[in-house]
Structure 1
Amino acid sequence: MSAGERVPVGGNPEFADLDHAWGDGTRCVHAGQHAAVPGEPLVAGPVLSTQYHLSPGGEGGETDVYGRAGNPTWRALEQAIGELDGGRCVVFPSGMAAITTLLRVLLRPGDRLVLPSDGYFAVREWARTELSGVSVREAPTAGPWTEDVFDGAVLVLLETPSNPGLDVCDIRELARRANAAGAMVAVDNTTATPLGQRPLELGADVVIASDTKALSGHSDVLLGHVTVRDADLADALRRARTLSGAIPGPFETWLALRGLGTLDLRLARQAENARAVAEALHDHPAVRGLRWPGWESDPAHAVAARQMRRFGGVLGFELPDADAVRRFLERSRLVGAATSFGGLHTTADRRARWGDPVPEGFLRLSVGCEDTADLVADIRAALDGISWP
């Protein structure tokens, strides 16, 4: 299936001539569902079995034979995400499992990998310690992307918007340049989600995401996925998943599928809240370095506006120091101190505590689905009395 090929919503051929006009909300609610069968459940539950009936004669042909190799609930979520991403999806038990499996499948000793120097720190750490014989080159998301960055590269990984700094790069342009140099391009789309950005349509070869974040959206699931345009690569990823045992649990997969149905609604509220919070933080005496790609004065806004359909609910900003962060979080009634992002609840994470190369007072704020006025008032009150020296 090519990036531009449309899959009928819910896999139902009856809808093939209709779904081109359907919006994100409809596609999220119906993605991954099958045609209605009278007497069958409207919403299928998780398939928990590890064993399946085999043909007595051993002639084969069964869709599923053993729980490590396949599961109907995996396939339902893969179909749903694949419809939204525009490719062939393979799900994994976490975002890190997804990206490390991709790297193991694509890279061999002597190959060169390009990583974002300001992206998720665990990916850089894993590449340095586990990718034996692979040369790793790092480049900042915002560039400059000089020609030598792509020299000899087999794979270029982009993360846009980056985590935690929220810088943005031009996917279409970098994919063109990387492909011309002989490299594949993978985009970590965790922050944007398939509704916010469709990297395959912009020329990327692979999309990766931690579905622990906004896609599942309820802070109760660890999950990840890889979506690709190439059928052979999808098969290779599934084979690697089966052999390594890096498989998702069917119940967690079902929770993610259930959460996906409200993705459009959640993202809309989070983006509304993010804009309101950005307006409240702009020019506040306690705040410096506010970043949100949807903010018109953000350095990344021009590029983000060309390739992103939504700007999401994650902001970054700096308070004077770690103690100011502590006081802010202690005084807030709605902002919880937690890592990860994309959930229903507004949370803040002081990223320096995890070793990210950011100032001690830098906060990644994941805006939730609270009432906008309540959230803005709470954040303003929590910041009262905090200012830069």
Structure 2
Amino acid sequence: MDVAIVGAAGSCGRQLASQLLDRRLLPATGRLQLVGHQGGRSADELWGLRADLDDAFVDGAPALEVVVDPADLSADLVVMLAGVTVSSDLGAAVDRAALGKANLPIYQLYAEAMAARNGPPPTVIVQSNPVELGVQVFAERLGRRHVIGAGALSDSLRVRAELAVDLGVRRPQVQALMLGQHGDHALPLWSQLRVQGVATEAVAALVHRIRAGRTLADFPQELRAHRMEMFGLIRSGQVQKAYDLVETLSADLRAVVKPFFIHFTAGRTTEIATAHAVAEIIAAMVTGEQRILPAQVLLAGEWLDLHGVVAAPVILSAGGWEAVEQLELEADELAGLHAAMAAISTANRAVMQPS
């Protein structure tokens, strides 16, 4: 499998390239295309990145190519990491409409270029934000089965890590899902929580403590309130207090609020965790292992009669995704999923409809 990283010169793109090569996920006979913007600074930086990667991973590494024209992008699997991440202004950090308007032309540029290629369409993993907007754009041009968003896996890995800390176990022992939107309408599915090596009663007791007096319907408002409180502390220079605040939150809230803390205290990016989620998806595709992973996809009634972009538990294939695991949800989880889909649809329409 040949892989292309669009936005390879960015911090997340560099991390992903390093992780793919370090894990030897691509064979020596394959190719890794490092894709940047022609005429921009990234076009020059990619040559230095290529040389650095050659130095670090020369033994058994795939061929490395620099690509600056979307028409020259020819990989079987394309990872979308280009575009604006979040505003440097804390007050505008969660303006998804502005983010969508900034990144929509980039999505459209590469979607059109890939749609114009001869032969079958490539598989696209979207990890730029808004993830759901990218999935919509690429799915409409390349076919929805070929496009997945990695934001839900990032969220799920984070909530698994936080729950593992609370339970005193390792993350691989925790099976948990965060579906919905990669944003304010992230949805923790408590009905699907399973922990290997921990008594069911102990897991149930933790969930009871976390959910006491709280509902899933309140979750979006809760995370916005805690996020803004954290932003206020960072803005006033009280970074350690902001960190301490995040650590006092429940595991589900930590999983969603902490990435914003990282954004504004570690170089305005979560590049390591972001790249790790994509690498996990690529690992499943490269090995051919049939795995169920949470991902943003464009549904057409396959699960719970949902139509539109939302994070769902999908069964991956070498060419994208082939089905949705038919999980049965609790009533409040189903309501939260519908609320997330409505929020995503409204946001995507607002950005994609001409003004």
TM-score band w.r.t. shorter chain: 0.3 to 0.5
Provide the TM-score with structure 1 as the length reference: 0.32
Provide the TM-score with structure 2 as the length reference: 0.34
Structure of greater relative contact order (alpha carbons < 8 Å, 6+ residues apart): 2
More helix by share: 2
Structure index of larger Rg: 1
